[in-house]
Amino acid sequence: MLHDIPEQWPVTGTRTPFTGNVTGVRTDEVTMPDGGTVRRDYQTHPGSVAVVALDDEGRVLVLRQYRHPVRHLLWEVPAGLLDVPGEHPVRAAQRELFEEAHVEASDWRVLADIYSTPGGSDEAIRIFLARGVTEATGERYEASEEEARFEHARVPLEELVRGVLQGELHNACLAVGVLALNAVLAGDGVESLRPADAPWPARPFDAS
């Protein structure tokens, strides 16, 4: 089986020309295997989690929001940043599902781990599968700014798969998540997926 291999070429110098509220830009001077040196600019990112929430009727919870860099209203799965220090990835995913959709789930598994744009960012994303979906108890999270304008829907998995393959749906987490879930359901089944606390070398965490 093919697998990605961790490797780090020597960095002889680094600087951070920009630091934002969450992400930044870093410039590294990297020594190539042939001895030459190149400069690599990339976005630094804390990492993210995303949730493919599947209900008992085979529908996936999606939401639509405006994404300014691409000038689109995109259908997406619930997702968010790993921006709470020390927060377990599963807890972050549960928090995002509650805040963005006022939903909770009883069964959590790892669906896929990806690097969103490895040529230009160090962002790592863990996509979870959540089942046993129910309306959350307690007071609804008070959304603001873009989140206050979310449009929610529950869409059959096969419809989302068609949307991705026909070029109608473009969000990376949605695309990877629904295609991975479709493959799992057609193949070895959900029980073959990794547990929710499976190691994540890209963003190590305390599993206790």
Q: Annotated active-site positions, please?
A: 147
Taking the CB of residue 74, how many other CB atoms lie within 10 A of it?
Answer: 16
Residues whose CB is less than 8 angstroms from the CB of residue 119 and which lie 6 or more positions away in sequence, other chains included: none
Please answer whether residues 109 and 141 qualify as being in contact, where contact means their C-beta atoms are separated by less than 8 angstroms. no
